[in-house]
Each structure stands twice: as C-alpha cells, then as structure tokens.
A and B are shown apart, each in its own frame.
Chain A
Amino acid sequence: MRSFSYQRATDPDMAVQALGAAAASNNPLTKATAQPLAGGTTLIDLMKLDVMRPAAIVDINPLAHAWSAIEPGGDALRLGALAKMSDVAAHAEIQRSYPVIADSLKLAASAQLRNMATLGGNVMQRTRCNYFRDVSYENCNKRNPGSGCAAMDGVNRMHAVLGTSDQCIATYPGDFAQALIALDATVEITGKAGTRSMPFAQLHKAPGSTPDIETALQPGELISGFSIRGRWPRSVYLKARDRQSYEFALSSAAIALDVQDGTIRDARVALGGVATVPWRAREAEALLREQKFDEALAQRVADAAFADARGRRHNSFKIALGKRVVARALQQAVTMEI
C-alpha cells in the first residue's frame, strides 16, 4: 500500500474541507487524491491492491453520531449514510415496512463486513471486475481511461448484460442500491455549498465513453443520507448466486408492489448483478400496473426487463437466469403475507 496522511474529521464542514482541498485538480471522484474512510471495506481493500491510491484519508467515522439515523416515520424513511448495514438489516421496522431493504442488506457480504460497512459506502462500492481489481492488466478504461477493456473478450462470466458500452462491461456489485432505486429513494449530498438532494436514480452513471466517472458526486462531496417516501411492506429482494451465502449476485431482483383487491396498483422492478449501474426496469414494471398477476404476466415482465440485454461469450446465461429471478421474485412479492 502507498503511504497516505490520515486525518479524522470531527464535523461535516471539516470533512468537506479536507476532501475538497484536493478537488480542483482532481476529477473524477474515483481518482481524487483525498478519499473519505467510513467502513473501509472497499477502500482499504482497493488500496492494498494499488487500484486506489489516495494521498490523504479523511476518516469520517466521527460523524456517525449525526449521520447514522434509522428513522422509519409514519409514511417515510430516513437513513443516515453512516448507519451500518447490519444495524439497518436487523431493524424490526425496516424488516416490516421495507423488507426489500432489510433483505438486500442481509444477503450482502458477511456478518463481519456488514458490521463495518456503511450505507453510504455501500452504494459507492466499486465493481468486482477482475480486470479492474488486478493492476497487472493495463487495459481497463475504468482505471486507465483510453486503455481498452480486457473483460470485453476475456473471462466475462460475472459481467453485465445491461447498461454496457463498448468501453466497459463491469457489473455494479451492490445489492442495497437496487432496493433504493426501486423505491424512488432520494440521496442527500453534503458539500462545500451545503446540502443538496437528488433522485438516487441519478447518482450512478452508466459507463458510456467515460467508465472512470461512476457517480454524480464531485470530489469534496459526501453522501449524508437517504430518504424514501411511503411504506413498502409488499417488497422482496431475491438474489441468485454461485454459493448460498457470502457471494455477489449473478442476478438479483428488487420488487415492490402495491396490490389492492388483487390488482397491482403500483409496481417497481430493479435488477442487480446484471447491469453496470443499479438498474430500474421501467418498461417491465409498466406492464404490471392495473393488472391481475399470473404466470404469463410474470414472463412478459421478465422478457421486457431483459429486452435490451446483450450477452457476451461467458455471461449470456445471465439473461435466462435474470428472467427467472424476476419472475420468481414477482411471484414471491404477490404471495407474501403482509
């Protein structure tokens, strides 16, 4: 690991200032010379691999007293960015009113990592693409813009089939972000000019021609929290993977439904493990609205969700698998007891 200076930020202004001081000459955020440290489960790992090379670490854990709220209100939910994955997953009201959130967190990583990792850090988690993580590969447009993509014709079994470009097919690896995007979450961002909010769906950037730019966050900005309107007791997170536990998704689905008298009034479908960014399947969910559920409808929704999918040599199986995951998750959401 390269050496770095370490600084503890005891209030948000101090954190923003320390992170922003290096911002002017450093864009994008992923290459900023000052990086915030929360749980460290991505950052320290990638620093050991020499993929991330910050010269300064700003430890934002002292902000936890203000930024780790878990506040399910009557008809809204607020989550602080420094809340731990394990605490949110274990929260009884989250399990009751937002099972898709609780399950997306519970099914991620291991108990140890969930105790460390924060919600804000979780959505900023970097891809697990082996060519990105191994610096002995020169060709990675995410690490070295313009160098090419070793995964394109390489071992790409774990790679994305949706939202890809001719520059990058790296999968967004997280689970929780699919729950957030399905529930139309808002992300709260704290920076030099104060706090701003944006739809969570606008936080992540599809790779396009700039795979090194992963989010809309600027250097010197921090995620301080998330909010969600409404309650979603009829929601599920289904995750298919190579092992039963402690593994990234091959394909996952976050589903939230509002069913009244057998008719689906509102439907949300988001996909994980198959796309370059947290993926909302809006065309697919439109097919569900004002419909009565049956297996044929589930199949049409699943087909629509993957209509634009593009497989490569080793990952085409994800299209068939992903459709089955969507269909089964819908079935579970419709039949679950609430």
Chain B
Amino acid sequence: MSDKSSSRPSGFDRRAFMAGAAGSVLVPMTARAAAQDASAPVAQDPSLPVEVTLRVNGKEKHLHLDARTTVLDALREHLKLTGSKKGCDHGQCGACTVLIDDRRVVSCLTLALAAEGQEITTIEGLATDDRLHPMQQAFIDNDAFQCGYCTPGQIMSAVACVKEGHAGNEADIREYMSGNICRCAAYPNIVAAVKQAAPEIMKG
C-alpha cells in the first residue's frame, strides 16, 4: 500500500489501537460449503479466489477476492480504507455509501466483482492535498455529527445529493438524504451542512 489515500498521519490511529487492544479480532468471512445442486453453470470454482481489479479514488488495485466479497468488505478488509462504515450490512442504513461512477450507492450490497472497471470514490478520496472537501468542512462547521459513525456515508451521500440537484431546499435535502440514518439524530445540523456546502460544490 503505497498510495496517498491509505497513508495516515503519524500518531493516534483508532483502528490500529482497537485491533491491538482487542487482539486480532478481524475474522475473515467464513466460507460455508455450497449445499446446492451441482448442475448450475460453473463459471469458476467458487472455492477459489477471483482476480479483481478495482479502481478506488483514482488508483488501480489488484486483489484476489472470494466472489462473495462486497465493495464494502473489499475496501475495509483488503484495502484498509476503513472510512466507509459497516452499519446494517443490508442496505438499510447508508453508513457504507460510496460513489460508483459518480453515483451514490450502498457498497454493502454491491459485489466487488460487479464493480470492476468502475470508478469507486470513498470518503478517503474527497479531500485534495491538505484541503478538506467543502462538504467535509461544512459538517465540521455545523457540528453535523455526534458519534461520527454514519458521517462518512452522510458526507458521500450529501455530495451526490448536491450534484443531483436535490439540495435546493430543506424539504428536498431531507427527502433525498433519507437513506442515511443517524442514530444520534444530528439531522438538523446535517441539513444545515448540506445547505452550506451546496453552493460551493455547484460552483465546482
């Protein structure tokens, strides 16, 4: 891992700290035997990893993945891009929202194999050099989070919401941000953040 997006400033790293403190808690996906009729068309042996090339934040990543791996798990467990969060893992909470070809999707229901050849943008890919993306800055300015777990998904969703033209008024922002759940209920401040960042993003 030599690309900028995965390098971290020296000092405290919450994930490294937690992994160290709790011992090796990251268990790879358990493979369960396919108890199914063997007459299915076999494109490849499902027990073998598949070669996948993902384009993440402008960089090509060559991976060997179990076919079951979602984009979210590929990002978090294989590329160490842990900004995208796993909330429900069923497409209901929005914490895993990323952009694929500039459209917001839930990465937990997207197979990595199906995302080959597409441009994946994560929260780690938003800032340029030392400058935060206007939406990141707006979330800080408006105190648009408490625990912060939903925040990367909220910000990715909000960037797309603005670019789709769905941030013209508060009602629209609330409707088009409804796929991102905030357990701390920071909604009023999230709406304020989206309103603040929208003009700057639309300016380009």
Interface residues of A (CB under 8 A from B): 1-8, 17-18, 21-22, 24-26, 33-34, 37, 40-41, 44-45, 48-49, 53-59, 61, 86, 90, 109-113, 115-116, 244-246
Contact = CB atoms under 8 A, between A and B. Distances in A.
B36 interface: yes
B179 to A, nearest CB: 2
A5 B105 CA distance: 24
Contact of B36 (A2, A18, A44, A109): A2
Nearest to A107: B175
B39 A21 contact: yes
A110 B94 contact: yes
Counting from the closest, the 5 A-B pairs by CB-CB distance are: A110-B179, A7-B43, A245-B178, A55-B36, A56-B40
B109 A245 contact: no
Contact of B104 (A55, A61, A112, A246): A112
A8 B34 CA distance: 20
B47 A37 contact: no
A81 to B, nearest CB: 17
A59 B52 CA distance: 15
Given A1-B68, A112-B97, A34 B41 contact: yes
A33 B103 contact: no
B31 interface: yes
Interface residues of B, number: 49
Interface stretch (B19-27, B138-146, B159-167): B159-167
B37 A55 contact: yes
Contact of A33 (B39, B157, B180): B39
- Best-surrounded residue of B40, B89, B179 (most CB of chain A within 10 A): B40
B113 interface: yes
A105 B156 CA distance: 22
B57 interface: no
B5 interface: no
B126 interface: no
9 contacts: A3-B47, A5-B44, A21-B40, A21-B41, A41-B109, A44-B110, A48-B89, A111-B164, A245-B174
Given A21-B39, A33-B37, A113 B91 contact: yes
Interface in B52-66: 66
A3 B41 contact: no
A111 B106 contact: no
B79 interface: no
- Best-surrounded residue of B38, B174, B179 (most CB of chain A within 10 A): B179
B33 interface: yes
Contacts of B50: 6
A244 B114 CA distance: 32
B32 A3 contact: yes
Contact of A111 (B29, B35, B160): B160
Nearest to A1: B68
B104 A6 contact: no
Contacts of B67: 3-6, 57
Contacts of B157: 111-112
A2 B40 contact: no
A56 B38 CA distance: 10
A111 B166 contact: yes
Contact of A115 (B35, B41, B104): B104
B45 interface: yes
A49 B180 CA distance: 21
B75 to A, nearest CB: 16
B105 A18 contact: no
Contacts of B106: 41, 112-113, 116
Contacts of A7: 41, 43-44
Contact of B66 (A3, A40, A112): A3
A336 B105 CA distance: 34
Nearest to A24: B39
Contacts of A115: 103-105
- Best-surrounded residue of A57, A110, A244, A245 (most CB of chain B within 10 A): A110
Given A22-B41, A37-B111, A44-B110, 20 more contacts: A1-B68, A2-B35, A6-B111, A7-B44, A24-B39, A26-B37, A34-B41, A44-B91, A49-B90, A53-B35, A55-B36, A55-B40, A55-B46, A56-B42, A57-B67, A110-B178, A111-B104, A112-B179, A113-B91, A115-B104
A278 B36 CA distance: 31
